[in-house]
Structure 1
Amino acid sequence: MASKDLIIRVLCDNHGCLDFEQLLELAQSNFGFEVADLRSVLFDDGIIAIREGKEKLTSGYLIRPDSLVVAKTSLRLCQMKAGQCNQCDGLHLCRYIIGGSCTFGDKCKNPHSLTSHHNSRLLRRKGLHDLTEKQLLQLLMQNDPFLLPEVCPHYNKGDGQFGSCKFAATCKKLHVCLHFLQGDCKFGSSCKRKHTFDQQALKLFQGFSEENIQNLYKIYRNKFIIAGQQEKPAAFSQLLLSERSFLVDFVTEKCSRIHWHLPYRWQVLDQDGVTWKDLVNMEEVEKAFCDPSCETSCKDQPKPPCVDFKNMTFGGSQVRRLSTASSVSKPPHFILTTEWLWYWKENDGTWVEYGQVTKQKRTDSGNSLITSQTLENMYMADRETEISFQAGKQKYVLHFKDAAGTQQMYQQNVQYQTKRDVRRRPRFVSPQDVGEKLKR
């Protein structure tokens, strides 16, 4: 059995997560693994997520001893109704079986077996066929966002017993401190938000086994570590592009960052569903992406396949863009952050940056004092909110998400209800620009 399969089994046998020191100890005692044997596993962001610890890096270790190592998978449950899906990449399995038990029993319309032809084939393709049922269910529980009740974002804002949640005690989402579940609440016992799963919260977990109820905090913590690696730095869990990543002349082989020479990195998901590979024409893709009028990367390319920026796909495969932090989230001396620009679409189809309208292009929308930096600050603070502003005599509302909850941004005229598309794109930075900044 491959080392990564053994490590995933160890993690799943320990509620899906161990700190690195515990993982190393178990791997050494059970399988004779040494630190070097774990290197390739920890580098694989398809199966491992890591929250970097705070203890001093021990000589010979790959990461800090108290860093949390979490088992990860791209496997999800199929969301279609039973019998409606012929073939997909999701497990055909009742969601309540994963939580603990299904009250419908034999009368349930959804499959209860992992050994069906579809599920067996899928598990083998994902490299999960050697896991026990309990190990697999643990892995799914902390990875599939559909399986756990959502934490109420409004409860975690505002004052009062229920925060700013309008549904109060009837809310169908979880009223628990988000930072407590993430493991980073600074207020501890003095926090105004709940740090326990009370009777109201437990109603949302009907059908969960007693063991899963007892481990809800760990399950949510693991879930947020996995989800958070798209936004927060964590050693080896993703190809991190931070300021330290560019100072290649001053780092040593013990540096816990993976280096890259640009403040962005375009990658496509391999057919194995785990490995991310660099796009060969990365600079051309980035240049097209920085142009708000481009919906694909094929603007200056002779022929497809090209990257679809709306769906983030390349020839049918998933694409991702790794990036340094937004410039508004760091002090000015951080020179290699990403500057995001905000645009709205004119009637003639041209894209105009907020706050940068020329006299020839001056319209009611352009007279607003709102700028890209203002919008970026608001967006980083709350991606669920709406921004009201006035331009000339007209009032507008900018929506970061559309009614369907997707990231299709638009601004709407309050009086006439007309809509204009809005796009957030980075300012283009070439390899030459990076070199000049580092020289300075």
Structure 2
Amino acid sequence: MSSISSVIHQATSCLCDSRGSMHLQQLQQHLQERCRLSDGDFIYIIQGCPQRFLLVPEGNSYTVVGRTSLRLCRTYSRGDRCEGSCQQLHLCKFYVFGNCRFGKGRKLCKLSHDVHSAHNFALLRECTLHELKDNELFLLLLQNDPQLLPETQMLLGSVKQLRQTRLRKSVCTSSGTAAGSNWEVYDGTTWSDLENMEEIEQDYCKPASTRSSDYQQVDFVTMTLESMPVRRLSTVSSVMKPPHYSLTTQWLWYYKGDQGDWVEYGQLDEKQLSTSATSQTLEEAFLSGKKAEVEVIKGRRVYVVSFKGTIISPLLSHLDQPL
């Protein structure tokens, strides 16, 4: 087997080449072709490096998402002098985006475009990211650094649960963008990252959960931790971008079935019935601001999903009544 550091580098490179995430089996196949890796060694490395690889449940398997704790220095990005031994990268964020208007013409950018400066290279080497290509490193940063999230949406209130209704909106973890979300708490002065935000995000993705399960219990209804406000930073909704746009969040809409379970719109319930509206239909209507109501047909019933006031109201109350 190749050295562990070499395998980690190869795995990270594969993930970056695949827009930041891959199905577990797909990643395993790629690595075994390159590194002569046994099944046991592969699982050992992926599970043993949580600082680099996030395993997101997807059906009976997992999606592997690339991770890094490296961030761009906010002080440096503001153009201020960074004092002391800074453990964050000194780079122009627009250079990371690939759209800095300086550096290509006569006028030079005031911020560094040098990924391998003495300061940056020492941090990259410490995090074993120094062998990545620039575009691979940039994708990893874009996927993990909250200040680089494109068109960041701050959710100060809960959109997951619309209060006193039977409709819930949750986020899809299988899109590979769950790592593109960030949870912060406000202590009265500043917003700071919550610990174990991946676990909080996984709880948030479950439509039945109203709070996180770890010791930092975030209330998803009031979006608070104890009495402190909590916000979730997220990439733009996937319905607002073309399919090839990878850095988006896919939102799923659920309703509560007769048996008390949450069923995604457009999917089959326990009676093998589905709704005419899908998650995408509701998300598009929710974001449009023009269509306050969506007609939903399920079996012999017609419902109206309204984003104002009462969320679900049946228009026909009898199952045996034809439409």
TM-score (norm 1): 0.39
Residues 124-273 of structure 1: matches in 2 within 5 Å? 124-148=125-149, 149-153=151-155, 157=159, 179=170, 182-183=172-173, 220-224=177-181, 228-231=197-200
Contact 1:17 1:222 in 2 (8 A): no
Evaluate the alpha carbon distance shift between residue 400 and residue 74 of structure 1 in structure 2; reply closer, same or farther with a 3 A threshold.
same
Match of 2:221 in 1: 381
Evaluate the alpha carbon distance shift between residue 328 and residue 128 of structure 1 in structure 2; reply closer, same or farther with a 3 A threshold.
closer
Instruction: Return the alpha-carbon distance in structure 1 between the equivalents of residues 69 and 215 of structure 2.
Output: 30
Secondary structure of the residue aligned to 1:136 is: helix
Which one of the candidate residues 59, 68, 89 is aligned to 2:63? 68
Percent identity over the alignment is 24
AA of the residue aligned to 1:120 = F
Which one of the candidate residues 390, 394, 401 is aligned to 2:229? 401
State the superposition RMSD in angstroms: 3.9
Contact 2:73 2:90 in 1 (8 A): yes
Instruction: Show structure 1 runs of 5+ residues with no match.
Output: 56-63, 164-176, 185-216, 235-326, 331-336, 341-375, 386-397, 406-440
Evaluate the alpha carbon distance shift between residue 72 and residue 328 of structure 1 in structure 2; reply closer, same or farther with a 3 A threshold.
closer
Evaluate the alpha carbon distance shift between residue 338 and residue 24 of structure 1 in structure 2; reply closer, same or farther with a 3 A threshold.
closer
AA of the residue aligned to 2:116 = T
Secondary structure of the residue aligned to 2:200 is: coil
Evaluate the alpha carbon distance shift between residue 124 and residue 158 of structure 1 in structure 2; reply closer, same or farther with a 3 A threshold.
closer
Instruction: Show structure 2 runs of 5+ residues with no match.
Output: 163-167, 184-195, 204-208, 232-323
1:77 aligns to 2:72 (yes or no): yes
AA of the residue aligned to 1:382 = T
Give the C-alpha shift of residue 7 in structure 1. 1.1
AA of the residue aligned to 2:53 = I
Evaluate the alpha carbon distance shift between residue 50 and residue 94 of structure 1 in structure 2; reply closer, same or farther with a 3 A threshold.
same
Secondary structure of the residue aligned to 2:74 is: coil
Give the C-alpha shift of residue 78 in structure 1. 0.5
Instruction: Return the alpha-carbon distance in structure 2 between the equivalents of residues 158 and 230 of structure 1.
Output: 16
1:114 aligns to 2:131 (yes or no): no
Evaluate the alpha carbon distance shift between residue 47 and residue 119 of structure 1 in structure 2; reply closer, same or farther with a 3 A threshold.
same
Instruction: Return the alpha-carbon distance in structure 2 between the equivalents of residues 228 and 75 of structure 1.
Output: 16
Give the C-alpha shift of residue 116 in structure 1. 0.9
Instruction: Return the alpha-carbon distance in structure 1 between the equivalents of residues 215 and 132 of structure 2.
Output: 44
Secondary structure of the residue aligned to 2:132 is: coil
Secondary structure of the residue aligned to 2:64 is: strand
AA of the residue aligned to 1:99 = F
AA of the residue aligned to 2:200 = E
Match of 2:55 in 1: 50
- Greater than 6 Å deviation, 4+ residue runs: 337-340
Evaluate the alpha carbon distance shift between residue 13 and residue 339 of structure 1 in structure 2; reply closer, same or farther with a 3 A threshold.
closer
Evaluate the alpha carbon distance shift between residue 83 and residue 116 of structure 1 in structure 2; reply closer, same or farther with a 3 A threshold.
farther
Give the C-alpha shift of residue 50 in structure 1. 1.0
Give the C-alpha shift of residue 401 in structure 1. 3.4
Evaluate the alpha carbon distance shift between residue 94 and residue 232 of structure 1 in structure 2; reply closer, same or farther with a 3 A threshold.
closer
Contact 1:16 1:222 in 2 (8 A): no
AA of the residue aligned to 1:96 = F
Match of 1:19 in 2: 23
Instruction: Return the alpha-carbon distance in structure 1 between the equivalents of residues 27 and 39 of structure 2.
Output: 10
AA of the residue aligned to 2:155 = P
Instruction: Return the alpha-carbon distance in structure 1 between the equivalents of residues 98 and 157 of structure 2.
Output: 27
1:98 aligns to 2:96 (yes or no): yes
Give the C-alpha shift of residue 379 in structure 1. 2.9
1:72-128 deviation line (CA, Å, top 9, x unaligned): 111000111335014300000001111122023343211111121101111111111
Give the C-alpha shift of residue 49 in structure 1. 0.7
TM-score (norm 2): 0.52
Number of residues paired by the alignment?
198
Contact 1:379 1:400 in 2 (8 A): no
